[in-house]
Amino acid sequence: MSDAYPKELAEYVFHNWDAEISSPTGNLSVGEEIVLPDIKVLEHLFSICYQASLTSHEGEPVVFRMLVADPGQLAEDGGPPAGLQKLEFIQRISMTAAELRRLSAAARFSRSMIGVSLDMPQKPEIWGMINTGPRWLHASHGGRGSAPPLPPYLLIKVMGPGIIEVSKGNRSLVSLSDGKLLGLSLNVFRASWLQEWFAPVRQERMEIYQNEKQSAQENWPDLEPDLTRVIDQHMMKRVIAVMRAFRHGGTLILVPPEQADELMRPNPYLTMKYKFAGGKARARFRALIVEVMRTLARLPVEPARPIKWSDYQQTTDTEIMRLDEAIFELSHLISALSVADGAVILTKGFELLGFGAEIHCEAEEVISLAKSLDLEGTEYREESVLGVGTRHRSAYRLCQRLKDALAIVVSQEGTVQFVRWNENRLMAWEHQGSFDFSAIH
C-alpha cells in the first residue's frame, strides 16, 4: 500500500464529511449548512499545512490549530473559559507555510486557533486568531471544566512533522500520520470491553455508597452509574497525557485486585524493584473517589435527580475542588514513576503496587498480534512484532501469559497502545487523540 499525503487526505475528508452529524452547535444559526470547498481547494489547504508541519520554530516542532471559517460566522463577543474570543487582524495575510510557522508561536496549540478564510479559494487568507482557552483539552487529557462550544467547521490540527488531524468542530474525522490515514479516531476509552473490565471495581464503590446512603441521617440522592467511570477515565487521561509530555515512554500494567498479593511475592511474571507497602497510602485513589461520592451526595440538586458528571464538572464546591486536585496530583505521581526503567504496576482500582518492574515471561514467544481496527476488536489485522521495541514486546509477553492484565504502553514519540488478551488472541489498540506537549507544563 502506498503512503498517503495531502491529496489522499483531501479525498477522504470530502467523501466522509457528511458521515458526521452536522447539527447546529456553538454560534451557528439553526438550519445553517456546513459546506466544504471542493477537493482541489482542500488539497491546497492540507498541502500548505503539511509543508508547515515539516518546519520548526526556534528548534521546536511547528504545531497549531486552524479553523476554516469566515470571521462573520463567529460571535463578536465572548471568550474563554466559556466561549470563543475572535481577534481579527486589520489586514488579512496570505496563508503560506512560512506564515503559519511564524504564527504558530503566538497561536499556541493548547489555547488558540488560527482563523482562515476561503474568500479567494486558490489563495486562502489568515484573518486573525481565535482564543479558545485550554478546556478543550480536557476531553483527551482529563479535567473538570467544560469546553466552550466549537462550531462544526473545518478544523485542521498540525501536531508534528507530517502529522495532521482533521475535524468537524469537535468531532474528529481522520488523521494523517506516518504516511497512513486513520479513520474516525479510535478513542479506546469509549470501548465497551474497557468498561466491562473495570466494572467490578466500580460496582464495589456503588455498593459502598448505597450502604452509606441507607445509614445516612440526611436524604442522599442517587449517583448516575457512569459518574465514577468518567472520573476514572479523566484520571487515566491525565496520567497518559503527562507520560507523553515527558517524551520518555513508559508502561502501565493494570491487574485485577485479587492478583496483587501474588505479584508482590516472587512470581514467574515480573519483578518489581520498588514495591510499596500495603496501607491507605497505596490505595489513595480508592479513598479519594469514595470521598468524592460522599461529598457529591451533599450538593444541592433538583429533587429526585441523580448526581451527574456535569455536577462534578461544574460545581464550585471547595471540597470537590480539593479532591479533584488530589486526584490530579496522584495522576502526576503515577506518570513520574513511569520514567524509571521498568513498568508501573497497579490494580484496576488504581492501587499502586510498585514500579521499576522487569517483565519476565521469556518463554512466551510472541511473533505477531492482532491490531484492532475498531473499538471492540471485531475487525483486526495480524501484524508482526519483530519491528517493535523492547518495551512493547515485554508488554505483549506479559499479556499473553497474564490474560487478565491490561497494558498501556506509551512510546517516546507519544503513541499510546492498549494491549490485552481478547477473544483467544493477543490484541492491541492504537489510541488516537490530539496532544500538545506544552499543555502539560
Domains held by the chain: number: 2
Residues 284 and 359 in one domain: yes
pLDDT of the chain along its 441 residues, tens only? 466 789 999 998 998 887 644 333 333 333 345 678 889 999 999 999 999 999 988 888 899 999 999 888 887 776 666 678 889 999 999 999 999 999 998 888 888 899 999 876 668 999 999 888 776 665 554 555 555 667 788 999 998 888 898 988 877 788 887 787 776 557 788 889 999 999 999 999 999 998 888 887 778 888 888 888 888 888 898 898 888 878 788 999 999 999 999 999 999 999 999 999 999 999 999 999 999 999 988 887 776 788 888 888 888 899 999 998 999 899 999 999 999 999 999 999 999 999 999 999 877 789 999 999 888 999 899 999 988 888 999 999 999 999 999 999 998 877 889 999 998 999 999 886 544 333 333
Terminal Cα distance for the chain, rounded: 39
Domain boundary among 149, 182, 215: 182
Residues 153 and 283 in one domain: no
Q: Which residues of 335-350 are buried (b: 16+ CB within 10 A; e: fewer)?
A: bbbbeeebbbbbbbbb
Residues 240 and 272 in one domain: yes
Residues 164 and 199 in one domain: no
In a domain, 177, yes or no: yes
In a domain, 147, yes or no: yes
Task: For the chain, give the number of residues.
Answer: 441
Residues 125 and 230 in one domain: no
Residues 84 and 214 in one domain: no
Which residues form the domain of 115? 6-182
Residues 236 and 216 in one domain: yes
Residues 192 and 176 in one domain: no
